[in-house]
């Protein structure tokens, strides 16, 4: 596909800027028959940039997913595949990518109309899986994930043209206030924070372990938090949080004995397929940012 106009340039200017979002937040305004989200959910999503649903999956479903996670985890520990990311200071597995391609349980989960249907409803089109992974934040020595907008990276390093993707995080352990839960800045999805610093070659190998380039500056974060505060949804295993691709989020470290694991999936609109990365670097591998558009039926 040819290069197109860069609506969201980043990592170019010597100082950070905050610009308005140029895209709709919800692309499909009308509630179709059978669309999962109610009008109040849609309004909340427009305002805050995310939705949290406690106990979205039943304990039985959680049990089945947890077993699949454990199996994938142990296999990853013995593998040296590219799709496995380890902690910055140890060999402990932190993430395994492209799980919908390697495991039928996860594939079925991410094709479930309860999840893919929400994404299609918000994005106003059929969707495909842009990325999937399992994340595991160990107890005692779990490291923080610094604040970031996924879109900033996906646009710059992967060539995602517009803000038209939804991430869903499915908790497979209880999220307490104390074990480093996902934090989101309500309303941050309405603003685009450009970052400073050019992207190094093969940046992703390091950035998945410890992010440095593509992180927002202190002043912009402070401004966003003054606007919207910080929310950290908690809930038992089986709860989900879904958020806009431009919602600023992160998580603190975790010294508690409670580990934290989740399944993370990104649904992109089929009308928002990747082009050449806007930052000028070669595209990242397919398991991080799929260049195959396979609509979910």
Residues that bind a second copy (CB under 8 A): 139-140, 144, 146-147, 176-178, 180, 183, 218, 221-222, 225, 230, 232, 250-258
Backbone angles phi, psi at 163, to 5 degrees: -80, 90
Residues in CB range of 96: below 8 A, 6 or more apart: 72, 73, 76, 83, 84, 85, 133, 134
What is the smallest separation between the CB atom of 64 and a second copy, expressed in angstroms?
26
Of 161 and 228, the one with the shorter C-beta distance to a second copy is: 228
Angle of CA points 203, 207, 209, to nearest 5°:
135
What is the smallest separation between the CB atom of 46 and a second copy, expressed in angstroms?
24
Of 73 and 146, the one with the shorter C-beta distance to a second copy is: 146
What is the smallest separation between the CB atom of 145 and a second copy, expressed in angstroms?
8
Of 102 and 234, the one with the shorter C-beta distance to a second copy is: 234
Q: Which long-range contacts (CB under 8 A, 24 or more apart) does 98-102 make?
A: 98/131, 98/132, 98/133, 98/286, 98/287, 99/72, 99/132, 99/133, 99/134, 99/263, 100/129, 100/132, 100/265, 101/132, 101/287, 102/72
Of 120 and 171, the one with the shorter C-beta distance to a second copy is: 171
Tell me the H-state helices in the chain. Answer: 39-48, 59-77, 99-102, 104-111, 113-123, 150-153, 203-207, 218-228
Structure tokens at 214: 């593509």
Of 128 and 147, the one with the shorter C-beta distance to a second copy is: 147
Of 7 and 176, the one with the shorter C-beta distance to a second copy is: 176
What is the smallest separation between the CB atom of 144 and a second copy, expressed in angstroms?
5
The terminus-to-terminus CA distance of the chain in angstroms comes to 24
What is the smallest separation between the CB atom of 194 and a second copy, expressed in angstroms?
18
What is the smallest separation between the CB atom of 125 and a second copy, expressed in angstroms?
34
């Amino acid at each position: 596909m040819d290069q197109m106009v860069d609506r969201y340039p980043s990592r170019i200017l010597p100082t950070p800027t905050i610009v308005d979002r140029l895209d709709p937040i919800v692309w499909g305004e009308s509630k179709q028959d059978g669309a999962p989200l109610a009008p109040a959910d849609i309004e909340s999503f427009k305002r805050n940039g995310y939705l949290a649903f406690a106990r979205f999956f039943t304990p039985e479903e959680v049990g089945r997913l947890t077993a699949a996670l454990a199996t994938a985890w142990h296999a990853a520990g013995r593998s040296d595949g590219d799709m496995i990311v380890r902690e910055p200071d140890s060999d402990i597995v932190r993430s395994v990518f492209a799980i919908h391609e390697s495991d039928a349980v996860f594939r079925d989960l991410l094709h479930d109309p309860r999840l893919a249907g929400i994404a299609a409803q918000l994005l106003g089109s059929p969707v495909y899986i842009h990325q999937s992974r399992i994340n595991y934040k160990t107890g005692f020595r779990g490291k923080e994930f610094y604040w970031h907008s996924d879109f900033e990276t996906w646009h710059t390093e992967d060539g995602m043209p517009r803000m038209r993707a939804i991430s869903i995080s499915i908790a497979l352990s209880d999220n307490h206030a104390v074990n480093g839960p996902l934090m989101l800045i309500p309303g941050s999805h309405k603003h685009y924070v450009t970052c400073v610093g050019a992207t190094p070659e093969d940046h992703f190998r390091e950035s998945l372990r410890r992010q440095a380039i593509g992180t927002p500056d202190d002043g912009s974060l402070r401004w966003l938090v003054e606007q919207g505060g910080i929310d950290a949804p908690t809930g038992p295993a089986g709860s989900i949080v879904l958020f806009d691709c431009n919602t600023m989020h992160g998580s603190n470290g975790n010294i508690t004995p409670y580990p934290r694991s989740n399944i993370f999936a990104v649904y992109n609109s089929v009308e928002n397929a990747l082009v050449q990365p806007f930052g000028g670097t070669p595209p990242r591998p397919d398991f991080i940012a799929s260049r195959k558009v396979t609509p979910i039926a």
